[in-house]
Amino acid sequence: MKKLWGKKSTQSSAKIEEFTVGRDQEFDLMLAPFDVLGSIAHVQMLEKVGLLLASESKDLQQGLRLIFEEIKEGTFKIESGVEDVHSQVELLLTKRHGDIGKKIHMARSRNDQVLLDIKLYLRNELQEIAEATQTFFELLMKQSERFKGHLMPGYTHLQLAMPSSFGLWFGAYAESLVDDLVVLQAAFDVVNKNPLGSAAGFGSSFPIDRRLTTDLLGFSDLSYNVVYAQMGRGKSERVATMALANIAETLSRLSMDACLFLNQNFSFISFPDELTTGSSIMPHKKNPDVFELIRARCNRLKALPNEVLMITSNLPSGYHRDLQILKEHVFPAFNDLKNCLQMAELMLSQISVQENLLADPKYKYLFSVEEVNRLVLGGLTFRDAYKKVGEQIEANEFSVTDTRLKHTHEGSIGNLSLEAVQSRMKSVQKSFDFQKVETALAQLLEKNN
């Protein structure tokens, strides 16, 4: 294994190398573009404080931008025997630009370099999750409006309760996503702080400018205390996965509803045949495999914050190799959740709902509360009205005199308050400063910069 800081007198055995590197190279490729972006900002800062000549800075930035293009094109790879992406980038710069490539690591440590890469990666992934969630939210809102007049049974304890509507059902999950994005924004805010300059966790004697790299990379602020900056590794992953788990919970619950509603004993909804799966021996089957897999994958995502918490339990301050394991748990989670959001969107965009469900006599008791309320409005006390309707039900004499629903308060069947929910979502969206990040990173990649 080629290590830039390797010593001839000390070489690790092959078994030690294999065990300690683990799957790091696999996940390092996911960090590669962010490693380059961080290095460009670092080089610009080194020039500004006088640790690099302008000509050296220009050559290094040119080389880094070329590597960034190779990463985007898919031609970049970590060569056999090279320890990680950080070494690969430095070796390429040295090979192409000579000894100035060796200066790129000046005033930083692997610790703050890796932590920076992870924060940039997490920030990017949280943005993509936020955007995918927003897209799914818009579909739910559209379907809520579309099906607001289609009534369905409401349940508590999985027992018939009161009339509901598909408009309410879709709208409930839409509003749930608003709160989920509030939590995601909090995670974004925790992640969006610059650790670069903390070095190994104790700062640097070089005259670095941490505020400059913060601005160059589009961070909202920096992690000031250098010890705490390093403690941010593990914490950032935990907070981010907790935000993912909230969205996963919403999707998991929605998927469970969909599986029930598709069941023949409910028959509330249906999908085109091509969106369901069949059976090897039962020709009538139309299985909700997509929703079952969303449910399972999202339940696994809900367990992820605890995995991160347990891996980082009882660690003292400073860097520890335990943290390396987090990558293989956390990194795949973002694609899992994005795939679940996309598949849920595909399914619900083509959903059909059963009309006139409540006309079936088996749902007549859904209107018992409506009848109680009607009697109260006619002058009976609530307790007397409740007793009267209850006695009718026990004697099998209950009948629905009026199935018209008069729910007008905010958030009810007759007043879904979709505009208010939409307004809340827009407010949450504005709290993400994605434009600042995108502008900063685009400027780093400009060739005339």
Based on the fold, state whether residues 244 and 128 are members of the same structural domain.
Answer: yes
d(CA 139, CA 133): 10
User: What's the CATH code of the domain at 85?
Assistant: 1.10.275.10
Residues 6+ apart with CB under 8 A from 179: 246
pLDDT at 402 (0 to 100): 81
Whether 398 is covered by a domain: the verdict is no
Based on the fold, state whether residues 44 and 18 are members of the same structural domain.
Answer: yes
pLDDT at 9 (0 to 100): 52
Least Cα distance to 169 among 147, 187, 186 occurs for: 147
Based on the fold, state whether residues 70 and 120 are members of the same structural domain.
Answer: no
Residues 6+ apart with CB under 8 A from 375: 384, 385, 388, 389
> pLDDT 10s per residue in the chain (449 long)?
555 555 555 555 777 766 766 677 778 999 999 999 999 999 999 999 999 999 999 999 999 999 999 999 999 999 988 889 999 999 999 999 999 999 999 999 999 999 999 999 999 999 999 999 999 999 999 999 999 999 999 999 999 999 999 999 999 999 999 999 999 999 999 999 999 999 999 999 999 999 999 999 999 999 999 999 999 999 999 999 999 999 999 999 999 999 999 999 999 999 998 888 766 667 677 888 999 999 999 999 999 999 999 999 999 998 888 889 999 999 999 999 999 999 999 999 999 999 999 999 999 999 999 999 999 999 999 999 999 999 999 999 999 878 888 899 999 999 999 999 999 999 999 999 899 999 999 999 997 66
Based on the fold, state whether residues 81 and 188 are members of the same structural domain.
Answer: no
Based on the fold, state whether residues 236 and 328 are members of the same structural domain.
Answer: yes
d(CA 4, CA 87): 7
Dihedral sign, Cα of residue 388, residue 389, residue 393, residue 397: positive
Query: Strands 159-165 and 193-194, how do they pair?
Result: unpaired
Whether 47 is covered by a domain: the verdict is yes
Based on the fold, state whether residues 228 and 348 are members of the same structural domain.
Answer: yes
Of 80, 106, 132, the position where a domain reaches its end is: 106
Report whether 68 contacts 33 (CB < 8 A): yes
pLDDT at 145 (0 to 100): 98
pLDDT at 338 (0 to 100): 98
Residue 75 structure tokens: 């031609």
Based on the fold, state whether residues 264 and 341 are members of the same structural domain.
Answer: yes
Based on the fold, state whether residues 135 and 31 are members of the same structural domain.
Answer: no
pLDDT at 403 (0 to 100): 85
Q: What is the pLDDT of residues 417-438, one digit of tens each?
A: 999 999 999 999 999 989 999 9
Based on the fold, state whether residues 253 and 343 are members of the same structural domain.
Answer: yes
Least Cα distance to 268 among 106, 147, 435 occurs for: 147
Whether 135 is covered by a domain: the verdict is yes
Based on the fold, state whether residues 119 and 67 are members of the same structural domain.
Answer: no
Residue 155's Cβ-side half-sphere holds a number of Cα atoms within 13 Å equal to 7
User: What's the CATH code of the domain at 134?
Assistant: 1.20.200.10
d(CA 388, CA 407): 23
Whether 397 is covered by a domain: the verdict is no
Whether 269 is covered by a domain: the verdict is yes
Domain count, the chain: 2
Based on the fold, state whether residues 299 and 183 are members of the same structural domain.
Answer: yes
Of 55, 75, 106, the position where a domain reaches its end is: 106
pLDDT at 4 (0 to 100): 58
pLDDT at 81 (0 to 100): 83
Residues 6+ apart with CB under 8 A from 133: 177, 180, 181, 184, 247, 341
pLDDT at 25 (0 to 100): 75
Based on the fold, state whether residues 175 and 304 are members of the same structural domain.
Answer: yes
Whether 120 is covered by a domain: the verdict is yes
Whether 4 is covered by a domain: the verdict is no
Expressed as residue numbers, the domain containing 41 is 14-106
Whether 203 is covered by a domain: the verdict is no
Dihedral angle at the C-alpha atoms of 51, 53, 56, 57, nearest 10 degrees? 70
Report whether 126 contacts 188 (CB < 8 A): yes
